[in-house]
Protein backbone atom coordinates (compact mmCIF):
# COMPACT_ATOMS: atom_id res chain seq x y z
CA UNK A 1 0.00 0.00 0.00
CA UNK A 2 1.59 3.23 -1.08
CA UNK A 3 0.13 6.64 -0.46
CA UNK A 4 3.44 8.15 -1.41
CA UNK A 5 3.95 11.75 -2.37
CA UNK A 6 0.46 12.90 -1.56
CA UNK A 7 -0.18 16.11 0.25
CA UNK A 8 -3.59 17.19 1.41
CA UNK A 9 -4.09 20.82 2.24
CA UNK A 10 -6.91 22.16 4.36
CA UNK A 11 -7.82 25.81 4.60
CA UNK A 12 -9.52 27.03 7.73
CA UNK A 13 -10.85 30.50 7.03
CA UNK A 14 -11.57 32.27 10.25
CA UNK A 15 -14.17 34.93 9.79
CA UNK A 16 -13.79 37.00 12.93
CA UNK A 17 -16.90 39.13 12.56
CA UNK A 18 -19.30 36.25 12.36
CA UNK A 19 -17.29 33.82 14.39
CA UNK A 20 -17.86 31.44 11.54
CA UNK A 21 -15.39 29.06 10.02
CA UNK A 22 -15.16 27.46 6.63
CA UNK A 23 -12.99 24.63 5.45
CA UNK A 24 -11.72 24.12 1.93
CA UNK A 25 -9.66 21.21 0.87
CA UNK A 26 -7.39 20.25 -1.95
CA UNK A 27 -5.45 17.07 -2.55
CA UNK A 28 -2.23 17.50 -4.40
CA UNK A 29 -0.03 14.82 -5.89
CA UNK A 30 3.54 15.84 -5.29
CA UNK A 31 6.11 15.19 -7.92
CA UNK A 32 9.36 14.07 -6.42
CA UNK A 33 11.47 12.88 -3.61
CA UNK A 34 11.48 10.74 -0.55
CA UNK A 35 12.89 11.65 2.80
CA UNK A 36 15.68 10.14 4.80
CA UNK A 37 15.07 9.67 8.50
CA UNK A 38 15.21 12.93 10.31
CA UNK A 39 16.93 14.76 7.53
CA UNK A 40 14.18 15.57 5.09
CA UNK A 41 13.98 18.75 3.16
CA UNK A 42 13.77 17.15 -0.23
CA UNK A 43 10.46 15.82 -1.38
CA UNK A 44 7.11 15.86 0.26
CA UNK A 45 8.05 16.51 3.87
CA UNK A 46 9.10 19.74 5.47
CA UNK A 47 12.50 19.49 7.15
CA UNK A 48 12.53 17.79 10.51
CA UNK A 49 14.98 16.14 12.86
CA UNK A 50 16.91 16.46 16.06
CA UNK A 51 18.73 19.57 14.92
CA UNK A 52 15.53 21.63 15.07
CA UNK A 53 12.82 19.56 16.70
CA UNK A 54 11.92 18.01 20.01
CA UNK A 55 10.70 14.43 20.41
CA UNK A 56 7.50 13.35 22.08
CA UNK A 57 7.73 10.70 24.80
CA UNK A 58 7.62 7.12 23.54
CA UNK A 59 4.40 5.12 23.67
CA UNK A 60 1.26 7.13 24.37
CA UNK A 61 3.03 10.46 24.42
CA UNK A 62 1.04 13.67 24.57
CA UNK A 63 2.61 17.11 24.26
CA UNK A 64 0.91 20.40 25.00
CA UNK A 65 1.85 23.09 22.51
CA UNK A 66 1.42 26.83 23.12
CA UNK A 67 1.53 28.60 19.76
CA UNK A 68 3.30 31.95 19.81
CA UNK A 69 0.71 33.09 17.25
CA UNK A 70 -2.78 32.00 18.21
CA UNK A 71 -4.09 29.40 15.78
CA UNK A 72 -7.50 30.16 14.24
CA UNK A 73 -9.55 27.00 13.83
CA UNK A 74 -13.20 26.00 14.01
CA UNK A 75 -14.43 29.47 14.89
CA UNK A 76 -11.96 29.95 17.75
CA UNK A 77 -8.36 30.96 18.13
CA UNK A 78 -6.23 28.60 20.16
CA UNK A 79 -3.34 29.43 22.44
CA UNK A 80 -2.81 25.77 23.19
CA UNK A 81 -3.45 22.37 21.67
CA UNK A 82 -2.23 18.84 22.26
CA UNK A 83 -0.16 16.62 20.02
CA UNK A 84 -0.96 12.92 20.48
CA UNK A 85 1.45 10.22 19.35
CA UNK A 86 -1.56 8.37 17.95
CA UNK A 87 -1.63 10.61 14.91
CA UNK A 88 -3.65 13.64 15.85
CA UNK A 89 -3.78 17.17 17.18
CA UNK A 90 -6.51 17.97 19.71
CA UNK A 91 -8.08 21.42 19.95
CA UNK A 92 -10.63 21.40 22.75
CA UNK A 93 -13.34 19.47 20.94
CA UNK A 94 -11.83 19.39 17.46
CA UNK A 95 -9.27 16.97 16.13
CA UNK A 96 -6.95 17.49 13.18
CA UNK A 97 -5.92 13.99 12.30
CA UNK A 98 -3.32 13.39 9.58
CA UNK A 99 -3.32 9.68 10.37
CA UNK A 100 -5.46 8.87 13.36
CA UNK A 101 -4.57 5.24 13.98
CA UNK A 102 -3.26 2.67 16.37
CA UNK A 103 0.28 4.03 16.32
CA UNK A 104 2.56 2.89 19.11
CA UNK A 105 6.23 3.85 19.13
CA UNK A 106 7.35 2.45 22.47
CA UNK A 107 10.10 0.48 20.75
CA UNK A 108 10.77 2.19 17.43
CA UNK A 109 9.77 5.26 15.49
CA UNK A 110 10.16 8.89 16.49
CA UNK A 111 7.66 11.74 16.58
CA UNK A 112 9.31 15.10 16.08
CA UNK A 113 7.70 18.49 16.56
CA UNK A 114 8.48 22.18 16.59
CA UNK A 115 6.84 25.53 16.22
CA UNK A 116 8.76 28.12 14.32
CA UNK A 117 8.81 31.59 12.87
CA UNK A 118 12.11 30.99 11.08
CA UNK A 119 12.07 33.34 8.05
CA UNK A 120 13.21 30.65 5.63
CA UNK A 121 10.51 28.25 6.82
CA UNK A 122 7.87 31.00 6.72
CA UNK A 123 8.94 31.84 3.16
CA UNK A 124 8.56 28.21 2.13
CA UNK A 125 5.17 27.91 3.80
CA UNK A 126 4.02 31.17 2.21
CA UNK A 127 5.06 29.90 -1.20
CA UNK A 128 3.33 26.56 -0.73
CA UNK A 129 0.04 28.12 0.36
CA UNK A 130 0.08 30.70 -2.43
CA UNK A 131 0.75 27.93 -4.94
CA UNK A 132 -2.33 25.96 -3.91
CA UNK A 133 -4.55 28.87 -2.87
CA UNK A 134 -3.57 31.67 -5.24
CA UNK A 135 -5.26 35.01 -4.73
CA UNK A 136 -5.23 35.06 -0.95
CA UNK A 137 -2.03 37.10 -0.78
CA UNK A 138 -1.15 34.92 2.17
CA UNK A 139 1.96 35.55 4.26
CA UNK A 140 2.78 32.92 6.89
CA UNK A 141 3.63 34.17 10.38
CA UNK A 142 3.82 30.88 12.24
CA UNK A 143 4.37 27.22 11.43
CA UNK A 144 4.03 24.06 13.49
CA UNK A 145 5.40 20.77 12.20
CA UNK A 146 4.84 17.32 13.67
CA UNK A 147 6.51 14.41 11.90
CA UNK A 148 5.84 10.75 12.57
CA UNK A 149 9.07 9.11 11.40
CA UNK A 150 8.90 5.35 10.74
CA UNK A 151 6.17 4.65 13.28
CA UNK A 152 4.80 1.11 13.64
CA UNK A 153 1.29 0.14 14.65
CA UNK A 154 0.55 -1.15 18.10
CA UNK A 155 1.88 -4.72 18.23
CA UNK A 156 3.88 -4.10 15.07
CA UNK A 157 7.60 -3.69 14.58
CA UNK A 158 10.16 -1.75 12.61
CA UNK A 159 9.59 -3.86 9.49
CA UNK A 160 6.31 -2.08 8.69
CA UNK A 161 6.30 1.63 9.42
CA UNK A 162 4.70 4.88 8.34
CA UNK A 163 6.25 8.29 7.82
CA UNK A 164 3.99 11.32 7.56
CA UNK A 165 3.64 14.86 8.76
CA UNK A 166 1.15 17.53 9.68
CA UNK A 167 2.06 21.18 9.15
CA UNK A 168 -0.04 23.97 10.62
CA UNK A 169 0.42 27.37 9.03
CA UNK A 170 -1.22 30.66 9.93
CA UNK A 171 -0.95 34.41 9.55
CA UNK A 172 -3.09 34.84 12.66
CA UNK A 173 -6.29 35.17 10.59
CA UNK A 174 -6.38 32.31 8.10
CA UNK A 175 -4.98 28.92 8.92
CA UNK A 176 -4.00 25.80 7.02
CA UNK A 177 -3.15 22.22 7.74
CA UNK A 178 -0.96 20.27 5.35
CA UNK A 179 -1.02 16.49 5.58
CA UNK A 180 2.14 15.12 3.98
CA UNK A 181 2.48 11.38 3.44
CA UNK A 182 5.99 10.20 2.57
CA UNK A 183 5.65 6.47 3.12
CA UNK A 184 2.58 4.57 4.31
CA UNK A 185 3.33 0.86 4.79
CA UNK A 186 0.45 -0.06 7.08
CA UNK A 187 -3.17 1.04 7.30
CA UNK A 188 -4.83 -1.70 9.37
CA UNK A 189 -5.20 0.40 12.47
CA UNK A 190 -6.49 3.26 10.39
CA UNK A 191 -9.20 1.19 8.74
CA UNK A 192 -10.81 0.40 12.07
CA UNK A 193 -11.95 3.96 12.32
CA UNK A 194 -15.06 3.44 14.43
CA UNK A 195 -13.19 1.61 17.19
CA UNK A 196 -10.35 4.02 16.95
CA UNK A 197 -12.58 7.04 17.48
CA UNK A 198 -13.85 5.44 20.67
CA UNK A 199 -10.28 4.91 21.73
CA UNK A 200 -9.49 8.56 21.05
CA UNK A 201 -12.54 9.57 23.07
CA UNK A 202 -11.24 7.55 25.98
CA UNK A 203 -7.72 8.89 25.59
CA UNK A 204 -8.85 12.47 25.49
CA UNK A 205 -11.31 11.86 28.29
CA UNK A 206 -13.94 14.06 26.72
CA UNK A 207 -16.99 13.61 24.54
CA UNK A 208 -16.21 12.44 21.06
CA UNK A 209 -14.49 15.23 19.20
CA UNK A 210 -15.23 16.39 15.67
CA UNK A 211 -12.69 14.86 13.34
CA UNK A 212 -11.01 16.59 10.44
CA UNK A 213 -8.92 13.99 8.69
C1 LIG B 1 -13.88 27.44 -1.00
O2 LIG B 1 -13.92 27.09 -2.37
C3 LIG B 1 -15.06 27.60 -3.03
C4 LIG B 1 -15.08 27.02 -4.45
O5 LIG B 1 -13.78 26.82 -4.93
C6 LIG B 1 -14.99 29.14 -3.03
O7 LIG B 1 -16.12 29.66 -3.69
C8 LIG B 1 -14.98 29.60 -1.58
O9 LIG B 1 -14.82 31.01 -1.54
C10 LIG B 1 -13.82 28.96 -0.83
N11 LIG B 1 -13.92 29.29 0.58
C12 LIG B 1 -12.88 29.75 1.24
C13 LIG B 1 -13.13 30.00 2.67
O14 LIG B 1 -11.80 29.96 0.72
C1 LIG C 1 17.00 11.75 17.26
O2 LIG C 1 17.19 11.49 18.63
C3 LIG C 1 16.54 10.32 19.08
C4 LIG C 1 16.69 10.25 20.57
O5 LIG C 1 18.03 10.38 20.93
C6 LIG C 1 17.08 9.10 18.36
O7 LIG C 1 16.37 7.95 18.78
C8 LIG C 1 16.92 9.29 16.88
O9 LIG C 1 17.51 8.22 16.18
C10 LIG C 1 17.54 10.60 16.44
N11 LIG C 1 17.22 10.81 15.03
C12 LIG C 1 18.14 10.74 14.09
C13 LIG C 1 17.68 10.89 12.70
O14 LIG C 1 19.33 10.56 14.34
C1 LIG D 1 12.93 25.99 2.14
O2 LIG D 1 12.89 25.36 0.87
C3 LIG D 1 14.17 25.22 0.27
C4 LIG D 1 13.95 24.69 -1.13
O5 LIG D 1 13.19 23.51 -1.09
C6 LIG D 1 15.03 24.32 1.13
O7 LIG D 1 16.32 24.21 0.58
C8 LIG D 1 15.14 24.92 2.52
O9 LIG D 1 15.86 24.04 3.35
C10 LIG D 1 13.77 25.15 3.09
N11 LIG D 1 13.89 25.82 4.37
C12 LIG D 1 13.33 25.32 5.48
C13 LIG D 1 13.61 26.07 6.74
O14 LIG D 1 12.63 24.32 5.49
C1 LIG E 1 7.31 -7.87 12.27
O2 LIG E 1 6.01 -7.69 11.75
C3 LIG E 1 5.81 -8.37 10.54
C4 LIG E 1 4.47 -7.93 9.98
O5 LIG E 1 3.47 -7.95 10.96
C6 LIG E 1 5.90 -9.88 10.81
O7 LIG E 1 5.69 -10.58 9.61
C8 LIG E 1 7.27 -10.19 11.37
O9 LIG E 1 7.33 -11.54 11.73
C10 LIG E 1 7.58 -9.34 12.58
N11 LIG E 1 8.97 -9.51 12.95
C12 LIG E 1 9.35 -9.68 14.20
C13 LIG E 1 10.83 -9.82 14.43
O14 LIG E 1 8.57 -9.72 15.14
**Number of domains into which the chain is organized:** 1
Atom of ligand 4 nearest to the CA of 156: 2
Probe residue for ligand 4, chosen from 102, 108, 155, 160 as the CB with the greatest number of ligand atoms within 8 Å: 160
Is residue 56 within 6 Å of ligand 2 at its C-beta?
no
Give the model's pLDDT for residue 74: 78
What's the CA gap between 204 and 207, in Å, rounded? 8
pLDDT in tens, 7-33: 566 666 543 323 334 455 555 443 333
pLDDT in tens, 174-186: 899 888 888 889 8
Alpha helices in 20-171 (DSSP H): 119-132
For ligand 3, atom 13: residue with the closest CA: 121
Instruction: Answer for the pair 174, 187: CB distance below 8 angstroms, yes or no.
Output: no
Give the model's pLDDT for residue 204: 59
Is residue 39 within 6 Å of ligand 3 at its C-beta?
no
Instruction: Answer for the pair 78, 91: CB distance below 8 angstroms, yes or no.
Output: yes
Is residue 127 within 6 Å of ligand 3 at its C-beta?
no
Is residue 120 within 6 Å of ligand 3 at its C-beta?
yes
| Overall pTM surpassing 0.75 (yes/no) | yes
Range of the domain at 155: 3-212
Give the model's pLDDT for residue 95: 83
- Which portions of the chain are predicted below pLDDT 50? 1-6, 14-22, 28-42, 191
Amino acid sequence: MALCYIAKILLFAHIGLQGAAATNETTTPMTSGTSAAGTSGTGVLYEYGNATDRLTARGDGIVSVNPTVKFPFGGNTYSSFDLYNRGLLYFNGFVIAPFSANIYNAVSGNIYYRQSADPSLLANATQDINTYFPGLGFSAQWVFIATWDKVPQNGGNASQVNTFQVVLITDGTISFALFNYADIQWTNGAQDRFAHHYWVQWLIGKTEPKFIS
